[in-house]
């Protein structure tokens, strides 16, 4: 990898590791200590991360506000503690079929600025401490409501799955949007519980995951 000559690296994060694990692996590989990234991905998620190396860390602030594009699988019929399949199931129901027209109408109605609760398993701080730490201790977590900008939201696929239903969606969103919150809101508007089954970030501004390197 001739990445030491570049200030910003495009990395395709694999599933099952944290964003900090990516930084740690790159530090070991490149022998660089000064690194940071523009936008965290959950362990379940894959896809594009922008990593600043050396002087490139000074550019990260300008990259944080860029719009982000995701492809996601939303599982209808399940609500979990974390908003994805890593968490314990809190609610479950069978979903034997969906109305494609209704789904498309719901998605179209969510384009704009939404006021949604952030996931309680998130790094948002309350009382100087991330919410996920309080949640892991079993403490009551009062989650804040946040404005989330959705620029586009469209249905790609839909298919039955194990007495449930999976929607494949693509969405472009503003900075600080939690796709887990978007998925739960889709379910709420359709009248069923919902959670993220798969999530992949494909673009950040002009940067595309097709141009990214594996770690």
52 C-beta neighbours (distance < 10 Å), count? 22
Indicate the CATH number for domain 68-203: 3.30.2350.10
Q: What's the CATH architecture for 3-64?
A: 2-Layer Sandwich (3.30)
**Residues in the chain, pLDDT under 70:** 1-5, 121-126, 130-132, 134-135
Instruction: Tell me how far apart the alpha carbons of residues 212 and 48 are, in angstroms, rounded to a whole number.
Output: 7
User: What's the pLDDT tens digit per position in 177-199?
Assistant: 999 999 999 999 999 999 999 99
Domain boundaries, the chain: 3-64, 68-203
Instruction: Tell me how far apart the alpha carbons of residues 64 and 172 are, in angstroms, rounded to a whole number.
Output: 15
Q: How many residues does the chain have?
A: 215
Residue from 42, 84, 162, 211 carrying the catalytic annotation: 42
User: What's the pLDDT tens digit per position in 114-128?
Assistant: 999 888 766 666 677
Q: Is 162 a catalytic residue?
A: no
């Amino acid at each position: 990898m001739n990445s030491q000559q570049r200030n910003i690296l495009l990395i395709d994060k694999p599933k099952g590791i944290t964003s900090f694990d990516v930084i740690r692996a790159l530090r070991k590989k490149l022998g660089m200590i000064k690194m940071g990234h523009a936008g965290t991905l959950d362990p379940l998620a894959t896809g594009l991360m922008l990593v600043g190396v050396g002087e490139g860390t000074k550019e990260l602030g300008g990259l944080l506000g860029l719009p982000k594009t995701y492809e996601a699988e939303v599982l209808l019929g399940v609500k979990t503690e974390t908003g994805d399949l890593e968490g314990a199931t809190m609610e479950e129901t069978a979903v034997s079929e969906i109305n494609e027209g209704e789904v498309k109408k719901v998605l179209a109605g969510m384009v704009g600025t939404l006021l949604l609760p952030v996931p309680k398993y998130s790094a948002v701080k309350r009382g100087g401490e991330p919410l996920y730490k309080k949640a892991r201790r079993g403490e009551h977590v009062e989650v804040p409501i946040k404005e989330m900008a959705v620029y586009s939201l469209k249905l790609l696929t839909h298919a039955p799955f194990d007495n449930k239903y999976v929607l494949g969606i693509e969405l472009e969103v503003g900075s600080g949007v939690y796709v887990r919150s978007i998925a739960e809101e889709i379910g709420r508007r359709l009248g069923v519980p919902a959670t993220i089954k798969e999530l992949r970030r494909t673009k950040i501004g002009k940067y595309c995951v097709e141009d990214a390197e594996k770690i």
